[in-house]
């Protein structure tokens, strides 16, 4: 990503964070709509797309016989178990098994149809995505444990609103700051790394799609009362900073410098 794009993304996020520093509670009160279909679908079913992508990644690593395949299977299995017991519950265990079975089947079929050269290219991208996601998510979880901020929908007489820059320490059951959903969705920034490897500019369409998806996820979390605008902004800033750091490492590794990029190609 060019410096102009980096500065623009940081500037927009910091401007929104400055706005949230003053109007955080006001914005949540105006946007809160727990019955909003758009936000409800994203909160409950966005994971379907994510798990499908994770299953595909594991299938590609398996086809490429990558050394991180078993680690990936363990992580994907942990996600499935968490959703199996947390979302579906014991009463619908057959539905859960069938759902993940279908995902794994289509993932294996797609990877099987892929050429070996394409599989190796995908493995390279998957490892970059995994680093971005794990580092960002790990930082967010550590801050959550330290801040323990009350969510908007959890506010009551004993747990009032608290500004984002002050740890609330309300208990481990309260984890509003920062937004993990936004941080995980921000891992889509990894889509830009292929353009960096090929020394070409990032297309406007791709940038709009990636940043639009992140913005929609953040907006849905505010609408559902799960997070404040400040939670979303800080989560994005964390993930974006991790992406910039990893991108710089990739440029040094492959000797890529902006002055050598092909303009528009």
| Rounded-to-integer distance, Cα 232 and Cα 214, Å | 9
Mean pLDDT of 158-165: 90
Q: Which residues contact residue 180 at a Cβ distance below 8 angstroms, ignoring those fewer than 6 apart?
A: 137, 140, 141, 144, 235
pLDDT-based confidence at residue 82 (cuts at 50, 70, 90):
low
- Average pLDDT of the segment spanning 32-41: 86
pLDDT at 86 over 60: no
Please report the pLDDT score of residue 27 as a whole number: 94
Q: Would you place residue 156 in the very low, low, confident or very high pLDDT band (cuts 50, 70, 90)?
A: confident
Q: Regarding predicted confidence, which is higher, 49 or 168?
A: 168
Q: Which residue has the higher pLDDT, 246 or 127?
A: 246
Under 8 Å between Cβ of 241 and 6: no
Q: What mean pLDDT is predicted for residues 12-21?
A: 95
- Average pLDDT of span 242-259: 80
> What string of DSSP letters covers the chain?
--HHHHHHHHHHHHHHHHHHHHHHHHHHHHH--TT-HHHHHHHHHHHHHHHHHHHHHHHHHHHTT-TTHHHHHHHHHHHHHHHIIIII-GGGHHHHHHHHHHHHHHHHHHHHTS-HHHHHHHHHHHHHHHHHHHHHHHHHHHHHHHH-PPPGGG--SSS----TTS-----TT---SS-HHHHHHGGGGGGGHHHHHTTBPPPHHHHHHHHHHHHHHHHHHHHTTS--HHHHHHHHHHHHHHHHHHHHHHHHHHT--GGG-BTT-
8 A C-beta contact, residue 231 and residue 178: yes
pLDDT given at position 199: 80
pLDDT of residue 48 exceeding 70: no
**Taking all residues of the chain, what is their mean pLDDT, rounded to a whole number?**
81
What is residue 88's predicted lDDT score, i.e. its pLDDT?
A: 46
Question: Residue 90 — pLDDT band, cuts 50, 70, 90?
Answer: very low
Average of per-residue pLDDT across 236-259: 84
Q: Is the pLDDT of residue 174 over 90?
A: no
Query: 87 pLDDT exceeds 90?
Result: no
pLDDT, position 109? 74
Please state the three-class secondary structure of 93-114 as a single string: HHHHHHHHHHHHHHHHHHHHCC
* pLDDT score of 69 more than 90: no
pLDDT confidence of residue 186: 93
pTM: 0.84
Report domain extents, the chain. 36-114, 116-257
Mean of pLDDT values over 168-177: 84
Mean pLDDT of 192-199: 84
Q: Which residue has the higher pLDDT, 112 or 93?
A: 112
């Amino acid at each position: 990503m060019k410096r102009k794009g980096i500065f623009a993304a940081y500037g927009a996020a910091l401007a929104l964070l400055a706005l949230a520093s003053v109007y955080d509670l006001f914005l949540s009160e105006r946007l809160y709509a727990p019955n909003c279909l758009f936000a409800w679908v994203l909160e409950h079913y966005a994971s379907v797309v994510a798990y499908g992508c994770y299953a595909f990644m594991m299938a590609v690593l398996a086809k490429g016989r990558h050394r991180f395949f078993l680690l990936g299977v363990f992580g994907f299995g942990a996600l499935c178990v968490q959703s199996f017991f947390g979302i579906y519950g014991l009463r619908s265990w057959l539905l859960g098994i069938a759902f993940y079975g279908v995902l794994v089947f289509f993932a294996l079929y797609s990877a099987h149809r892929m050429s070996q050269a394409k599989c190796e290219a995908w493995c390279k991208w998957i490892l970059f995505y995994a680093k971005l996601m794990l580092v960002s998510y790990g930082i967010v979880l550590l801050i959550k444990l330290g801040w323990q901020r009350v969510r908007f929908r959890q506010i009551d007489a004993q747990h009032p609103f608290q500004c984002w820059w002050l740890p609330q320490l309300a208990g481990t059951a309260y984890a509003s700051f920062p937004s993990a959903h936004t941080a995980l969705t921000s891992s889509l920034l990894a889509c830009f790394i292929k353009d960096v490897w090929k020394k070409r500019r990032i297309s406007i369409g791709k940038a709009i799609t990636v940043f639009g998806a992140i913005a929609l996820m953040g907006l849905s979390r505010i609408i559902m009362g799960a997070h404040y605008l400040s939670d979303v902004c800080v989560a994005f800033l964390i993930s974006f900073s991790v992406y910039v750091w990893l991108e710089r490492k990739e440029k040094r590794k492959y000797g890529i410098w902006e002055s050598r990029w092909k303009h528009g190609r």
